[in-house]
Structure formats: structure tokens, C-alpha cells
Structure 1
Amino acid sequence: MSIETSSDRSFGDVRDYRQAAVSETKDLLAGLKSGSGGLSSEERRHRLADCGLNETTVRQTTAWGILLRQFRSPFVYLLAGAVAVALYAGEYVDAGLIAVFVLINTALSFYQEYRAEQAVRLLRGYWRYDVTVLVDGQPTSVGSERVVPGDVLRLAAGDRIPADVRFMSADSVTVDESMLTGESVHVEKSCRTASVEPQDYFDAGNVGFAGTSLLSGEALAVVFATGRHSSLGLIVGLAGRSASSGVFEREIGSFSRFILKMVGVTLLVIFLLNVVLRGWGNLDQMLLFFIALTIGVVPEALPVVMTVTHTRAALRLAAKKVIVKRLSAVDDLGSVDVLCIDKTGTVTRNELEVSVIMADDPERCVILSLVGSPAAEGCRSVGNSFDRALRSFAGQRVAGEAARYRQVAELPFDPDRRRGSVLVEDPDGGRRLVVRGSPDEVLELCGRVGEPIELGRWLEREGLAGRRVLVVAERAMSSGCETVSVEDETGLEFVGALSFEDPLKDGAAAAIHKAGQMRIQIKMLTGDAREVAGAVAEQLGLVTDPSEVITGHEFDALDAGGQVEAVGRFVVFARVNPEQKFRIISLLQQAGRSVGFLGEGFNDVPALRLADVGIAVENAADVAKDAADIILGDASLSAIVDGAEIGRRNFANVIKYLTVTLAANFGNFYSVAIASLLVPFLPMLPVQILLLNLLTDAPMITVAADAAHPSELRRPNHYDARQVILMATVLGVVSSAFDFLTFGVFHGLGAEPLRTLWFMESALTEILLIFSVRTAGPFYRGPRIPPSVSWIMGVMAVVCLVLPYTGWGHRLFGFVSPHPWQLAAVLAIVAVYFCLTELVKLRFFGRKRAYSGDR
């Protein structure tokens, strides 16, 4: 045994698994300046200082980072500017009201996102583990994050591999690489040097990758890459370049900029016209008036409405064991029209079960299959997926029969031989050799097979169905035989064959059917073989022909135009690696699709970061959960589809708010601004405009709790700024027309009565507009109004009617008490306004057909 120390900090640069796979063990150790006994404790300290901890994370989110993220909104920038201008003008109450909106939004968003981040950190803590490292030639328990290049690890069944390693010795080693490749079946590993460089992770038979786990066997392995230099680190490096802002953030940002430009230009024109008509004599009052107009037209409660809707949705999803890390991801989920999923663990259970047995004596076939398992003796193994399926299928009685066989000697499974053999003593004292393995290998060793043609057809059918097949054979051995060799594996008698499948999860097919009804296209991106992926896709109804599958290799062979066509045509992609997943999602986005991606392995991190909505499961790799926007407590496709429905409900409510507030604000904005050019006094005082804005925002915020019509949930949502603006403009024109009608009826009464009655008309029409716009059809056919919404609307309407008659209204806001006939006239104008608004709305939606089925 040799232990290496070195004062030379350059201890080699063997960091690529392809290079490690074709290197002889002694050459690899020499390149790493290590030895078969590992490193000395002093050398490990030096290397840990040079290389850093063996950790890889996509991003570290601090509380300050989450807090600052809440202020990245054009509306927040505008409101902050309005606060500054109001403070400069001495309007401290106005500044305080605006600041309250900003602070409420910031506090709610920060609390929800910080709590989600804390939950993720708690989950991450469960993944800390220790590994056995040879230090100074002695086995030592070391934290996985402190492993360094050159360390020699002692691995056993159940251990996770903390870094990229090259196996130095391997005894019956099988590894679960599903976190890396998406392949659900165990992979056999050996210590043999590869003759050619592997082309992908699937082909590296003597390399163990960070994050994968040993299912059976024992091994010694040398670490050649840690942290960012490991395969995991390279994938995360790609993820670092692939961060994508959400659909919601992009579209609402574009929408905000459009509103701000339009308001800015209009205000400038009106301001200049006032200066031309009246000069600069009353500039202070005019400045306050235009500040109030600006605040009145901007939907400053939008951040609060969005936060409330997102928080309510996050709480509803939490009840389904879904953690929302980024609040706006709820809306993004509602906009998804392509959902890319893996097969393993998402639509299937990620656990094999026995499907069909082809044998003259099925029970004996199962017994000998169990006898031939290394796990039968309980030694060095937690059992691979085949053995677990066999034990589950056998039941206690058959397992009891298998336990009566005593294992004498074993010839472990070898990836090159693709079979394993066990010498056993049967209950009668006879010695028998039991061989299990690949059909191609084991059948060649059998002297005869009962019905070879029928067996061949059965094997073909099972292969087309995507099932894995295990063949069992035996031969009698001499009574004194104590050892077994490869030469003994001849003249075997065929016992039977068993096929295994990874069954579909309950509800998976129903979830895909519901996704189709919601116009969400499901695409399967998996590391499994073509046959397996195609068979599962056919069972789910994704394809009608299981051969409608393209592999990652075939995809790479296409030119750019062919790849674009392929991502549109195929729904099943098999044997895809991280780079190919990344490319597929990128092409879908370039085609204008909104893409959600469900992943769990660190190979999925780049795709999770690039997708419009990244979704990970709770038991996913740490970096996958870091990269995701949403974390599922249960890897259920149903939870995602239900989440998309909740996201669409959110979208419907935000659109209602935007349409109502912009229509009302545009109407008041243009009416008051134009009226300021027609009368020698301000048609509405700045404090009255701010009060109107405050009172009408309260019921509008309750829209966040409103119900949604089923037709609003049938298709992916997207913020169509032009349609929202067009609808708001059309309804705003109607609102302005009735504002001018009010102006025409009451302008002869003087400044105070006109302001009072105009305030009442504006407030009541805005509240009634909510009833109209909340559904695209007639208001009485819309969904039931939640009691909280009706109650707040009623209270605000009463306040608007009563306040002008109070002393407070007179002293603080400049109102006068209207005469009964004036109040009756206002109510009549409001009633006619509501009827005309309904007609205009029905005409608009009838032409646009924005919500099919709700006309």
C-alpha cells in the first residue's frame, strides 16, 4: 500500500471522465499524485485549501437578495418617483399613501419568497452525508464536501458517490445513475480500462459520477474531479449561463413600460396646453394637479393585487405539497403550453415490477431467480431493481422456498459477460448452478430451449413493449463441488424468462388527458432507451405508434432546420443528455412556446434554469432544487396540471384588475385633463383625485379573490398588452362620455357641486365596472361573486354616497351636500352607463372571441 504526499500543488489535471475511463489505474494514480492507500492527512489539508469544498450550487440567495428583487419593477420605480415629487411639493399624506402600497407589496412578496427559500434550505440539509476515505492508509469517515482529487474511497451498497471517481476495484457493483442520465435501470460497473473513450455518460462503465449511488457490491475508487470540475460542476456551469426570466416578468415589464410612455406623453401634451391657455401664473397648483392625475391613472395597486393573487395561489399549492419559490412562477405556470417531463419517477413509479413470466413452471422460475440473487444471502447489497421486484412479486411463501437453498459459491455479475452465476445446495442436498442474465448471453449457453420460435417471438414482443427481460437457466453439479468458474456455464437447461416494467403512476394518464384538454402539450425527454420511452408514451396516449421516437444521437445528426422541425414534430426524445435537453427547450422557446420543465437530476439543471418554469421534485438533487422555481413534494404530474389551472385563475383575476382600473383611470384621466382646459377652475381637486383612487382601489384589490369562469382555464394565458389596452381604451371612452355627460349636466352649478357630483359618478361607475368586466358574457351569467368581494364593494359604494354629506367630507375634501334630485340624476347616469358598458363589452368580446365559450 502506498500513501502519497507532495509539496507540489500541481497534482495533475485528470478531470474529464472520458480521459479517466481509458487510463490505466496506476497511470491515473500517478497523474493525481496519489497512491492505492490514498493521501496523507497533511496532503489532504493542502488540497482542500487549493481546491475548495466539494460543493456545487446554482445560486446562493440571501435575504437581502430576495428583498432587493421585490423592487425590480417599472411600476415600483414610478411610484417611488411619485413619492419623491409629492414630498417635494409638501403633500405628505399623498406620499404616505403611495408608500404604503409599495411597502405592503414588498413585505408580502419578501415574506412568501423568503419562507420558500428557507424551506428549500431545510430540504437541502437532508442531503449531507459522510463517505469512507483512505487517509494515511486507514479508513476514515469524511464529510462529502471535504473530498479532494486523489482521495481513495471505499464504497459499499447504499453509498452515494460524492465526486467523479474511477473504479480501482469493483465486486458486483451496480449503480443507480437515474439522477444523471434519467435511466431507471441500474448500471453495472467494473474496474476494467476502456479500450475507447466513452461518448456519453451511458458508456462510461468504469466511472462513477457525483450524486449517483451504489445499489450493490463493494468498490475502491479514486477521485479525479470534484466541485466545479466534476460532471456535476460542468452541468451547473451550463446552468449558470442559462438563467431565464419568467414569462410573467417579461410581459408585465413590457406592459408597464408601454403604460408609462403613454401616460408621460399625454401628460406633457395636456401640461403644455394648459401653459399656453393660462400661462405660468398658477404653476404650483397645476403641478399638484398633474401629480394627482399621474397617480390616478397609474394602477399603483397592481403590485399588491399580483402579490395577493400569487400568495393565495402559493398557499393553495402548499396544501398540495408544492413549494413556490418565485411568486411570479404561479402565473408563468398558467402560461405554459409545452411541458417537458422525464419518464422515470414522473409518469412511472421508478421501481420495476414483474410483468410476464415465460416458463413451463413459473413458480420454480421465480424461486431460482431469487436463489440466483446476491441479495438472497443478505450480503453486501441492498438489492438491485430486478431483485427488489422479484422479492415483492414472490410473496412470503415463494420467498420461503427460495430461502431453503444455501449459497455455496458465486460468480458475480460481469458487465462484459452480462450474466451472473450462483452455486447452491438445494433442499435435497444436491448442488446446482443457477445462471441469470441477458437473453442473448444466457440462451447461447443453453443446450436446448423448449419452443425456440415461440420464445423468440415472446422476447420480441416484450422488447417492443419496452420491458427488460431476465433469463434463468440451471445445470446439475457434482455433490462435492465447492467452486464455480466461467467454464461451468455451459450445457445449461432453460428454466424461464421474466419481463420487468416500470409501471405507470396512478393518475398519470388522466393528468396527461387533462393537460390535453387545457391545451398543454406534453413532451417526454428521457435518458431511457428508445423502446422503453416509446412504449410508455403509447400507454400514456402521447403517441399512437411507439416507434415515433427520436434519440439524442439522431437529433444531433440533424442540421439546424431539421432540429427545429424535430422539436415541433416529436413528443418523445430518448437517450438525451443535458446539452440536448437544453437545445430542445431553447428551440421551443425560439418558436414562441412557453416551456415548463420537470427535472430531478443534476443533469436537468441547465434545462431547469432555461425553462420559463423550472419544476423539481422534493428528492431531487440539491442543485436541481436550487435551480427550480417550483418544488413538488410528490413527483406527480397531476400536481403540475392542477398548478397550471391555478395559474390561469390568477391570470384571469389580474387581467380583470388591469382592465377595470385602466378603463376607469383612462376615462377619468382624459375627462379631467380635458375638462381642465374648458373651465377656469380645476374640475377635481388633487385630494379628491387621490381619494377617488384610494376608495376604488380597495374593491379592485379584492378581485384577487374572485372566481374564474371555466372558459378562462381552457388555454394557456399570455399578457396581450394590445388587447388589454384596446379593451381599456374602449371602455375608457365610454367612461369619458359619461364623465362629460355629468360635466354637461352639472357644470352650471359651480365648482364645488360639480366636483362633488363628478366624484360620486366616477366612484360608482368604477365599482360597477368590476361587475361587468369580471366575465366576458352577460354579468348575470358570470361565476358567483365571493362574499368578501361583494361586501367590500358595497362598503365602498356606501362611503362614496355618504361622505359628501359629512362634515369630514366638507372640511377635508371640499365636498358639498348634493340635493336629492342631483343624487337621483347621478344614479340614473350610473345605471345607463352600466347598461351601455355591458353592450360594448359583449360586442368587443364577440369580435375578439377572447374567451371561447363565454360569449
Structure 2
Amino acid sequence: MNFTPLKEFFAGFLRTRHVARHFRRLALLETLVQTGVNREMPPGLTQTLVRAATSDTGALLHRLDSRVEGLSEEQAESVRALVGLNEVEHEKPLPWWMHLWHCYKNPFNLLLTLLAAISYLTEDMKAAVVIGAMVVLSTLLRFWQETKSNQAADELKAMVSNTATVIRPEMSETAAADFGPKDDAHQSARETRRIELPITLLVPGDVIVLSAGDMIPADCRALFAKDLFVAQAAMTGESMPVEKFAVQRDANAINPLELDNILFMGTNVVSGAATAVVLGTGNSTYFGALAARVTTTDRGPTAFQSGVNKVSWLLIRFMFVMAPLVLFINGFTKGDWMQALLFALSVAVGLTPEMLPMIVTSTLAKGAVFLSRKKVIVKRLDAIQNFGAMDVLCTDKTGTLTQDKIFLARHADIWGRESDEVLEMAYLNSYYQTGLKNLLDVAVLEHAELLLELEPARNYRKVDEIPFDFTRRRMSVVVSEREDHHELITKGAVEEILGVCTHVHHDGTVEPLTAELLARIREVTADLNEEGLRVVAVAAKEVPPSKETYGVADESALTLMGYVAFLDPPKESTAPALKALAEHGVSVKVLTGDNERVTAKICREVGLEQKGMLLGGDVERMSDAQLAQAVEANNVFARLTPAHKERIVRLLKANGHVVGFMGDGINDAPALRTADIGISVDTAVDIAKEAADIILLEKSLMVLEEGVLEGRRTFANMLKYIKMTASSNFGNVFSVLVASAFIPFLPMLPMHLLVQNLLYDISQIAIPFDNVDEELLKKPQRWQPADVGRFMVFFGPISSVFDILTFAMMWFVFSANTPEKQTLFQSGWFIVGLLTQTLIVHMIRTPKIPFIQSRAAIPLMVMTAVIMAAGIFLPMGPLAHYFKLQALPPLYFVFLPVILLAYMALTQAMKKFYFRRYGWQ
């Protein structure tokens, strides 16, 4: 049998902290601000930023040895060789020797080292060698695991790493044609080309292009900015986005955070567009200066981490209570306090859940590998278990319930009749905007190229644009054809466009927008919505060519030209995926900025029963208490802003749900960060990918359903180990206490306990690969530490009953009742203890009858058989005297199967009682 996958998977695959650091720059900045880390920058960095802000563009570029056209590839490589990659120091891997130390310095290894030292001082060299070997094996195993994990993490990071749009000189003539007609305004653009570059490759002097949704990849100085708003709350604590400009308005400003034209690494563009030059990268950024002040900063513990911690401390507290009892009972009854101390320490090691971290990491890693085959990249391992616990999935409509392929279905005048003039205006608007081109823009451009023989853009030049933002929900471009006037063309959400229109255009005439016309227009757009079309209004106005810069205030007194209507058909896989999620206890709620009619139609087509719809306006008017009730009663939410989405997710969590959120836009980022599990796609904007825990390479609800099932398998397998460890530890210690009180010698030597513990631990490494009963996958699963304690009390004493029977058998049947025959007694209990402890996982892994109604996976069956055989071989084989054991008489092996079968039967009977009364998670 090939165990290479076993070794590969239990190697951990992903080291949570390592991955989390790379993908959570925003979380680091927020934590630094919230915890009061000193935000003063080194004087040299402050002076550099202030000087860059106040310098004119030519002098700054000269100082950086750059130019407006950007650095050439050769120049960039030379600078990169000097300054290194664009990475802050804490993201770099530890030196191997420091990594090895971190792998060693955990409480369990320190406890074992203390035990080995005591064994050496008491001249018990065999025990010292065995214990020392356990420490070395544990440390090297973890070191190897995490080294492999780091390599895997680097590969995953490369798959989902963010990129920046970088300007390089010497663009080809073919590419230059994409910029439109030859004119002075675009002459510089003709000499450049734009490339997507991983942010780690940026160097000082690179000229980059920014638009809505982009992460700012380094400290930069804006060279050009148009309605540029940057969210830098994590940097300054300001809740509102800050507008940035290409010039520094206050020449006396000395605080870098107040500079108008400096953009900081780790912040993000909310709206607008900019061209900027990179000033500093890596540790030379403000972010790098802050990060250097802390050694590590992680998010607060998730529900998953808290659950694991509570269970671990439950077992450790149990150890701290029971180990001293063993010490005092053996010390007083045997009189050998050094031997009693050694034995108590061995018991402590046996009680220590030393395999818990590895089992948890290995099980999660196995889930990550499984999901990677399903085109899912796991950025944070804990998210896998959160999949299993998730009971509410909030998702956008477009691209999730629908095909993520928008078709331009209609281009019509205000009465719904086909109009090429409206298509031409929509084309000019989409063609000339430089912000975030969404799927609607792509659909307009593709449709117009098929329909029109000559591109209308060839006859126009661009004057200016007013970028899109989520408050206005529209964007405008200003173009000129004959230079005697400028045309402002606006497209956006119907209501927002109607709000700035005063006239309408139809049948070649323009007339005022009256209440009657407005009512009829709304009927036309409502009819289009009922057809499942998403309607975008197009408006325009002519203005004198008196200026070259336009703003939001110019979007007034417009003339409504008509509409472009888009069709996004539902995916064929959506309906079965929603049904599967419902069958597994996950309710789906649709959160969209789209209008209610289109949303309702799509929900009907995919079989999502609408249990109530809430609009953004309703959300705005409700208090938190009212909305907390409304989010339970409704499952469709339309016309939402980003703040609405985040608020709904937050209140669902406050109601006790484990909430997943799936989104890919900048407007989804707040909700992604608020959710228990943020899900995005590889084509999402940078800020959405940064905020997410899971990246899908395929935007499909069916993939999520598989993730939910894998999360539940992961949880069930972790819980098997925890329940089995807790119950067997409780039983073993109870047995030790009984034996210590009534037997005149140690029931088992410290070495026996350690060897038994080592073999038992080895048998558990196959748990991540175990099968899980289908019944355990039907409902969401969460950590319930109180259940672990109850389970321990119910099942632990069962093993003690058979341990005491074994004591009686060895004492009365085999006359192992004197210190001279203690080796025989210890050998008899060694085998029974190891075999019952190894078999318990098969009893606890399922509420069904093991081996008959529910069979473990082959790796676990094989490991169980191997360890049980090793447990019998040690006393019976040639190594027995090394471990201070001895061969047992044949009669012992007549009683052994009876004890094991009786133990399994009693455990099964207790399982039925426990299952009926408390259920089985």
C-alpha cells in the first residue's frame, strides 16, 4: 500500500499563520491602529515622503531615475537587484535554525525533555533514550511538515497573488491603435504599454495605473488623479474615504498621513483613477515601518480556534489535577518518591493531547488538498471547518446564481423601441472610461463591435470622465467630435439617472420630463425587468467646449436617451446546488445591489423560494433590533449598498448563525471581512481577494456545497480524536489511581506508558483519511466543549472496568501479585491497555455498529492492525527485555479476545443510550 499521500497530507500542507500573514495586510494595519501601536515613522521615511509630495513631477522622476513612460524592464531588474522584492520583513520565512527552535518549543516537548533529563539523572538510560527519541522525532517531524507547508503555501500564494498595472515604455503600433485617434492628449500613451505585474516585483520608480477596487501595492506619489478616493481607515482611523490629488495643496504639511498626493501600501482605491510613481517598497514603506515594530499579528481567534483551545485546556486541566494525585498516592503507598515522580510525569505525558495540533492541522490540510482539486484555494485553513459549521450563505446574484456572462439583449429608446443611437452612446461611455470595467461594459463593447461596421470612437476624442462610485451608481464620460461642443454621456442605474434628468429624447425631439412621462418610463423599465433583463439608463447633454475638467456637479439637467438591457441567464447548476445546500441545512440568502424585479425573476427560475424581500431603503430605516428580526424572516435583499450588505451579515452573526458571504466586487469587501467565511473568486478585484478566506477558481454554488461537506468531514474526524483522547485518558488515569492504591508495585513503568502513548499516537495519524457517516453530514456542526466533558465521563469509566478486570486476572489467575512478578503484571496490562485504547477510535468514530454498519477507511484499519500487532509483539518478541516486559502464557491470549469483545459490546450499549439522550455530533 502506498503511504506517500499519508505522509504528504499529514505534513500539514498549509501553515495557517504563514498564509494568513501574506493575505491579511489590511488586518495587520487595522490591528496595529486598534491596539495603539506607535504610528510615528522613522524620520528618514517621513522626510522622504514629504519631499516627494512637494517636489514637482520632473524633479521627482529624475531623482528616482524614472520618467512618465515608466521604467524599462532592464531598469526595473537593476533596481530590484539593489532593493529586493516588494515584501515586508515579517512575510519572509524564518531561518531554518529559528524554525527548528519554534518547532521544538511547545509545552509538550518541554515536558518530555524534563522527563528525559530526570530519567538520565536517575540512570534509567533506556527510558532517557526512548523519551529523547520521542522529542527528536516530534521536533523533526513538525519541522519537515512545516517546511513542506511553506512550500505549498508559496505555490498557492503565487496562484492568487495580487497584481499591479505597470506602465512600460515602447508600446507597439498595433497596441497603440487601441487608444483611439491620434491626438496630443494620447501621444504619451502611444509610447507606452501596460502590463500586469505581481506586486512583489514592483520597484521604486515604477509608474503604475490605479482604478476602483485596486489595492495600493507600495508607497506612491500620485502623478495624475481623477476623482480619486482612497480608503485608508486602517492607516489613520478615518472612517470615510480620503480624496487624493496629483498636487500637494498645503506646502507646509509635515505629517505624511495628511499629504494630499501620497498613497500608502495596503490601502485601497474606492473610486476614481490615478497614475502614480512608486516611492518605496517592502520595508521602506509606511506599512513596512509599522510591521517591523511587531513580531506577529493575527486576527482574533475564530469560533473554530476558540473551540480547539477550550477542548485542549479541558484536557490539560484534567492532567494538572490527576498527575499530582498519582504522585501522592504512589509516593505514600510505595515509599519511593523519585519513582512516583517519574511515574506521575509519565502519566502527565500520556494525558497530554500532544497529537491534537497535528491531527487538527493534518485533517484541515487533507481538506485543503481535496478542495484544491475542486478548484478551490484555501487561504486560511480554519475556513474549511467554518464551511462545515456554516448554516447561512449570503451570495450576490450576478455570476453566482447566474452565468457570469452578460449579454446585451436590448438597446432601446425611452419607449422600448430598438435604437442604434442609444447603443452608440453606451459604446462611447464604456469605451472611454478608464475605471473598473464591469461585465456590462464588456457586453456593450462586444455587441457593438459585432453590430457596427465602423467604431464610433474613431470619430471622437475623450475630454474627461467622471468615474463610477457606489453612492451615485452612475459614471460619465465627456467626448468631443467636432470641437464646437462637448458631449457628456452618462449611464447608470435607472432611478439614479432619472434623478439627474430634466428632459427626454424620442422620435428626434427633446421635451421636458413630466410626471406623466416619468410614470410611463417606469412602466417600460418595469416590463423589461419582468423579462429578467437588467436595465441601465443612458442620458446625455451637449455643453460648450469651455473647459477640459468635469465633475459630479456637471451631471445635471441631462436628457434621457434610452436604455441598454442585459440578460444574465441562470446557471444550469444553480437549482440543484441550492437544493443540495438546503438538504444539508444551509439556507441561502441573496444580497444584491440589483433591482427587486430582476432579482425575484432569477430567484424563481433557479428554484429559490422567496420568503420575503427587503430593499435597501427598508434596511436604511430599520434599527439594528428591527433588522435583526427582518434578516431572519427574509431571504432576498435587493438595492443594497456595501454598508447594507455588511450590516446584514453582522446581524446574522449576532443572531447566532455561522455566516458565509460570497462576493467579488469592491462593494463586497466589507461583508467579506465581516462574515465567518469570506468567499471570492480569482477574477475578483484585489480588495475582495484580500478580504476573502477562500478563493474559487470557478464561481459555482456546487463547489460550495462540496466545500460544506468537506468541512463537515473535517470536523467529524477531528472530533473523533478529541472524544477518543478525552475518554481513554479519563479511563486510564482512573485505572492508574485504583491500581496505585491497592497494588504494592507500579502497575506500569514510566517507559511502558511512554511507549504505549507513542504507539497509540502513531495509530491516529490516519484519522484525517477516515470515512464519515452520511448522517453526520446532514447538519451544520460546531464546537461544543461541554459535550466533550460529558462524553469523557460517560465513556472513560468503561475502559477502567476492563482494566480492573485485567488487574484481577493477572493477580488471581496468573499470580502476578508480588514485586518479583510485577513485569508479568505490567506486560499483561500493557497489551490490554494499548489494544482497548487503539480500538476505541473505531467505537467512537460512529454511532453505528463498527466494522458492520460503518467501516473505517483502509488507512485507519491498516494502522490499527499494525499498532495492535506491535503491541503484542513487544512483550512476546526478542525486544521484550529492552522494554522491561516479558512473554505472557498462552492462557492469557484465551482471555484477551473475551475482554476486548466484552469491552466493545459494553461501549456499543452505552453508545445507544448516549445517542438517544444527547444525540451524536
Q: Same fold (TM over 0.5)?
A: yes
SS at match of 1:444: strand
Q: 1:834 to 1:361 in 2, by over 3 A?
A: same
Matched with 2:726 is 662
SS at match of 2:742: coil
Question: Structure 1: how far apart are the matches of 2:620 and 2:222?
Answer: 26
2:742 to 667, 671, 678: 678
- 2:838 is aligned with what amino acid? I
Q: 1:265 to 1:445 in 2, by over 3 A?
A: closer
Q: Deviations over 1:647-685 (max 9, x none)?
A: 211211122222223333322221133112112122223
1:758 to 812, 829, 842: 829
| 1:790 matches 2:861 | yes
Q: 1:651 to 1:88 in 2, by over 3 A?
A: farther
Q: 1:131 to 1:621 in 2, by over 3 A?
A: same
Q: Tell whether the 8 Å contact from 1:246 to 1:332 is kept in structure 2 after alignment.
A: no
1:303 to 357, 362, 379: 357
Question: Structure 2: how far apart are the matches of 1:379 and 1:582?
Answer: 28
SS at match of 1:373: helix
| 1:643 matches 2:707 | yes
Q: Tell whether the 8 Å contact from 1:112 to 1:327 is kept in structure 2 after alignment.
A: no
2:843 to 767, 772, 793: 772
Question: Structure 1: how far apart are the matches of 2:215 and 2:381?
Answer: 33
Q: In the TM superposition, what is the alpha-carbon distance from 1:54 to its structure 2 partner?
A: 14
SS at match of 1:467: strand
- 1:739 is aligned with what amino acid? D
- Correspondences of 1:45-194 after superposition (within 5 Å): 60=91, 62-63=93-94, 90=124, 91-100=127-136, 102-103=138-139, 106-107=142-143, 109-119=145-155, 121-123=157-159, 127-131=163-167
Q: 1:535 to 1:39 in 2, by over 3 A?
A: farther
Q: In the TM superposition, what is the alpha-carbon distance from 1:517 to its structure 2 partner?
A: 2.8
Q: Deviations over 1:321-345 (max 9, x none)?
A: 3333444443343233344555565
- 1:304 is aligned with what amino acid? M
SS at match of 1:732: helix
TM-score relative to the length of structure 1? 0.71
Question: Structure 2: how far apart are the matches of 1:732 and 1:42?
Answer: 73
Q: In the TM superposition, what is the alpha-carbon distance from 1:599 to its structure 2 partner?
A: 5.4
Q: Deviations over 1:604-637 (max 9, x none)?
A: 6676566544444334555665565443333444
Greater shift, 700-709 or 745-754, is seen at 745-754
Matched with 1:823 is 893
Q: Tell whether the 8 Å contact from 2:767 to 2:860 is kept in structure 1 after alignment.
A: yes
| 1:41 matches 2:62 | yes
SS at match of 1:776: coil
Matched with 2:333 is 277
Question: Structure 2: how far apart are the matches of 1:251 and 1:505?
Answer: 37
Q: Deviations over 1:820-841 (max 9, x none)?
A: 3x32122212212211111111
Q: Tell whether the 8 Å contact from 1:442 to 1:471 is kept in structure 2 after alignment.
A: no
Question: Structure 2: how far apart are the matches of 1:232 and 1:598?
Answer: 28
2:385 to 331, 335, 346: 331
- 1:262 is aligned with what amino acid? F
Q: 1:40 to 1:635 in 2, by over 3 A?
A: same
- Correspondences of 1:717-732 after superposition (within 5 Å): 717-732=781-796
SS at match of 1:815: coil
SS at match of 1:667: helix
Q: 1:543 to 1:190 in 2, by over 3 A?
A: farther
Identity of matched residues, %: 26
Q: Deviations over 1:273-319 (max 9, x none)?
A: 3333344xx22222222222222333433333223322222221221
Greater shift, 675-684 or 612-621, is seen at 612-621
Q: Tell whether the 8 Å contact from 1:113 to 1:326 is kept in structure 2 after alignment.
A: no
Q: In the TM superposition, what is the alpha-carbon distance from 1:384 to its structure 2 partner?
A: 6.8
| 1:445 matches 2:515 | no
Q: Tell whether the 8 Å contact from 2:666 to 2:685 is kept in structure 1 after alignment.
A: yes
Q: 1:553 to 1:147 in 2, by over 3 A?
A: farther
Q: 1:532 to 1:11 in 2, by over 3 A?
A: farther
Matched with 1:483 is none
Question: Structure 1: how far apart are the matches of 2:280 and 2:657?
Answer: 38
- 1:306 is aligned with what amino acid? V
Question: Structure 2: how far apart are the matches of 1:794 and 1:682?
Answer: 28
Q: In the TM superposition, what is the alpha-carbon distance from 1:460 to its structure 2 partner?
A: 2.5
Q: In the TM superposition, what is the alpha-carbon distance from 1:723 to its structure 2 partner?
A: 1.7
SS at match of 1:499: strand
Q: 1:687 to 1:58 in 2, by over 3 A?
A: closer
Matched with 2:551 is none
Matched with 2:878 is 807
Q: In the TM superposition, what is the alpha-carbon distance from 1:493 to its structure 2 partner?
A: 13
Q: 1:223 to 1:325 in 2, by over 3 A?
A: closer
| 1:849 matches 2:919 | yes
2:523 to 444, 457, 463: 457
Question: Structure 2: how far apart are the matches of 1:573 and 1:86?
Answer: 69
Question: Structure 2: how far apart are the matches of 1:310 and 1:102?
Answer: 19
- Correspondences of 1:398-797 after superposition (within 5 Å): 398-400=451-453, 407=459, 440=498, 444-446=503-505, 447=509, 456-462=522-528, 467-470=534-537, 497-502=563-568, 504=570, 507-523=573-589, 528=593, 531=596, 535=600, 538=603, 541=608, 543-549=610-616, 553-554=620-621, 558=623, 561-562=625-626, 564-565=628-629, 572=637, 575-577=640-642, 588-598=652-662, 600=664, 611-620=675-684, 625=689, 628-748=692-812, 749-750=815-816, 751=821, 752-780=823-851, 782-797=853-868
Question: Structure 2: how far apart are the matches of 1:496 and 1:590?
Answer: 44
Provide the alpha-carbon RMSD of the alignment: 6.0
Q: In the TM superposition, what is the alpha-carbon distance from 1:406 to its structure 2 partner?
A: 8.1
TM-score relative to the length of structure 2? 0.67
SS at match of 1:95: helix
Q: Deviations over 1:506-556 (max 9, x none)?
A: 534544443333323445566x3564895588456374444455677546x
Q: 1:589 to 1:54 in 2, by over 3 A?
A: farther
Q: In the TM superposition, what is the alpha-carbon distance from 1:261 to its structure 2 partner?
A: 1.2
Q: 1:102 to 1:380 in 2, by over 3 A?
A: closer
Greater shift, 138-147 or 742-751, is seen at 138-147
SS at match of 1:500: strand
SS at match of 2:536: strand
- 2:713 is aligned with what amino acid? R
- 2:840 is aligned with what amino acid? L
Question: Structure 1: how far apart are the matches of 2:524 and 2:866?
Answer: 74
- 1:102 is aligned with what amino acid? S
Q: In the TM superposition, what is the alpha-carbon distance from 1:709 to its structure 2 partner?
A: 0.6
- 1:445 is aligned with what amino acid? V
2:304 to 248, 255, 258: 248
Question: Structure 2: how far apart are the matches of 1:793 and 1:125?
Answer: 42
- 1:294 is aligned with what amino acid? A
Q: Tell whether the 8 Å contact from 2:203 to 2:280 is kept in structure 1 after alignment.
A: no
Matched with 1:835 is 905
User: Gapped runs of 5+ residues in structure 1?
Assistant: 1-7, 15-29, 181-188, 192-205, 426-432, 476-491
Q: In the TM superposition, what is the alpha-carbon distance from 1:779 to its structure 2 partner?
A: 2.3
SS at match of 2:91: coil
Q: Tell whether the 8 Å contact from 1:753 to 1:815 is kept in structure 2 after alignment.
A: yes
SS at match of 1:716: coil
- 1:816 is aligned with what amino acid? A
Matched with 2:321 is 265
Question: Structure 1: how far apart are the matches of 2:152 and 2:521?
Answer: 55
SS at match of 2:564: strand
SS at match of 1:695: helix
Q: Tell whether the 8 Å contact from 1:157 to 1:215 is kept in structure 2 after alignment.
A: yes
Greater shift, 528-537 or 724-733, is seen at 528-537
Question: Structure 2: how far apart are the matches of 1:69 and 1:290?
Answer: 27
Q: 1:787 to 1:361 in 2, by over 3 A?
A: same
| 1:388 matches 2:442 | yes
Q: 1:108 to 1:654 in 2, by over 3 A?
A: farther
Q: Deviations over 1:463-512 (max 9, x none)?
A: 5868223459999xxxxxxxxxxxxxxxx999964312555555345444
Q: Tell whether the 8 Å contact from 1:86 to 1:94 is kept in structure 2 after alignment.
A: no
Question: Structure 2: how far apart are the matches of 1:611 and 1:379?
Answer: 33
